Structure 1
Amino acid sequence: MSTRPPRGRRGRHGVLGDPGWPATLRWEGSADDVVVRPLRPSDARAWREARQDNLAWLTPWDATVPPGGDSRPTTFGALVRRLRAQAKAGRTYPFAIDVDGRFAGQVTVNNVVRGSAQFASVGYWIDRRFAGRGVMPRAVALVIDHCFTELGLHRIEVAIRPENSNSLRVVEKLGIREIGYAPRFLHIDGAWRDHRLFAITKEEVPFGIAERLRGGGDAPAP
């Protein structure tokens, strides 16, 4: 694994130009070349094709806007501009996943809380063509380690619908412990949905969660 953020002025964690963001992360030593890097405007065509080709597969797990909520961006360009603004403010970090040079999905660090908390949530989705190859656990591991080592976060949470067996398999492979159950937690696919909650802290993976996934780090938390 390598973390190669661009050089920049060191300052508050999460400010654009800080070494923590933007960043390109690579998983080394596997059959697939998995790279995680900032989502960019040039991803528009590949992103739209992936979303359209996987519409039925992804829709049951997609966030939606509840009645009275703020409207979501209607174009990919507007989405990227909003995410970039949030990244500059240190609130959200939108990563794209490339596999062998092809766009394969996203991992997004969102709801970043600083101060005495230093935590965030992570969400993810993948093109079905790349599913079942261990891509998503590797991508999520890269991002979580980056959150701990470069963005200065202490705790990462993942919320997953109980029916989403594919996403549950990711946290299982990474050894992220379940911490609770939240009824009607997020508005997903048009309604308020229950979620299982998972979390991991920096202390649980002193050698990194990627190293845990490789089998060379500390044992998964009980």
Structure 2
Amino acid sequence: MDTLESSYGAVSIRLIRSRDARILQHELLTNRSWLVPWEATNPDGAVSLDMRGAVRRLLQQYRDGAGVPFVMEHDGEIAGQLNVWGIARGSLSSATIGYWVSERFAGLGITPTSVALATDICFTKLGLHRMEICIRPENTPSLRVVEKLGFRYEGYRPRYIHINGAWRDHYAFALTREDVPRGVLHRWTTGGVPSDAARVPDSAESA
């Protein structure tokens, strides 16, 4: 299970482990004000934070082939979490990426590096064809992630995901294997990212 891991500089990603639950729960609890505005919520009502149970479910999804739960690390210290979820095989062969990073690690390039590493794993080791990231229009730091990595803007999704207590609009961005024949990380670190790939058209901004 620990073969899906990758690193670049001080940043690394690896599969989540049961023993990570305590650290992850501590980071979630101490970063509430930082994370709550962007955190997925249950439209049927609040649920208690049980990271041990959440990790068990994530690992079961991994065993079932439905997702890949990573932790993001900086110099070996857990900085956040990145989930590849909604894996579809066959003619679709795609998945979606979601993530969160602790405030004390913000600005260190952890999220774009981790997204690049995870996308490359999905394309090369998992054989997926398309990776998607959906971002709230107000989430400027996440919009910078897709801009840096050159994820292509693909559309506006009204009331798409339940976030912070309400159904929120999202922009959708994606990459396919053909976009990055040498990998997302390689294209980014060698300056090959198209300057306007993630540009959101004015029509979407006013929707």
DSSP 3-state at the match of 2:82 = strand
Q: Is this contact kept in 1: 2:150–2:193, CA < 8 A?
A: no
2:1 is the alignment partner of 1:24:
no
Deviations 1:180-215, CA, capped at 9 Å, x for gaps: 000000011111000011011000000100001102
For residues 173 and 71 of structure 2, the distance between their equivalents in structure 1, rounded to whole angstroms, comes to 22
Question: Following TM superposition, where does structure 1 have runs of at least 4 consecutive aligned residues deviating by more than 6 angstroms?
Answer: none
**Aligned-residue identity in percent:** 47
- Contact map agreement 2:21 2:55 (CA 8 A) in 1: no
Partner AA of 1:26 in structure 2: S
Confirm whether residue 40 of structure 1 aligns to residue 21 of structure 2: no
Structure 1 unaligned regions, length at least 5 = 1-15
For 1:12, the equivalent position in structure 2 comes to: none
- After TM superposition, the structure 1 = structure 2 runs for residues 112-131 of structure 1, keeping only pairs within 5 Å, are 112-131=87-106
Partner Cα distance (1:202, 1:220) in 2: 19
2:80 is the alignment partner of 1:105: yes
> Aligned pairs, how many?
197
2:40 aligned residue? 63
Contact 1:73 1:79 in 2 (8 A): no
Task: Name the CA shift for 1:141/1:220 in 2 (closer, same or farther; >3 Å).
Answer: farther
Identify if the C-alpha distance between structure 1 residues 221 and 89 changes in structure 2 by more than 3 Å, giving closer, same or farther. farther
Match of 1:160 in 2: 135
Are 1:49 and 2:30 matched, yes or no?
A: no
User: Which residue of structure 2 lines up, in the alignment, with residue 169 of structure 1?
Assistant: 144
Q: Quick one: which of 75, 79, 96 aligns to 2:71?
A: 96
Q: Which one has the bigger helix percentage?
A: 2
Residues in 1 aligned to 2:69 and 2:48: alpha-carbon distance in whole angstroms: 15
One-letter amino acid matched to 1:171 = V
Contact 1:205 1:218 (8 Å CA) reproduced: no
CA distance in 1, matches of 2:47, 2:190: 40
Distance of 2:23 and 2:58 partners within structure 1: 18
Q: What do you get for the CA RMSD once the two structures are aligned?
A: 1.9
**1:149 aligned partner:** 124
Deviation at 1:45, TM superposition (A): 2.4
1:221 Cα offset (Å): 6.9
**Is the contact between residue 212 and residue 220 of structure 1 (CA under 8 Å) also seen in structure 2?**
no
Mapped to 1, the partners of 2:116 and 2:57 lie a distance apart of 25
Distance 1:22 1:73, change over 3 A: farther
Residue 73 and residue 157 in structure 1: after superposition, are their counterparts in 2 closer, same or farther (change >3 A)? farther
Structure 1 residue 80 displacement after superposition: 1.1
Structure 2: which 5+ runs fail to align?
Answer: 198-207
TM-score by length of 1: 0.83
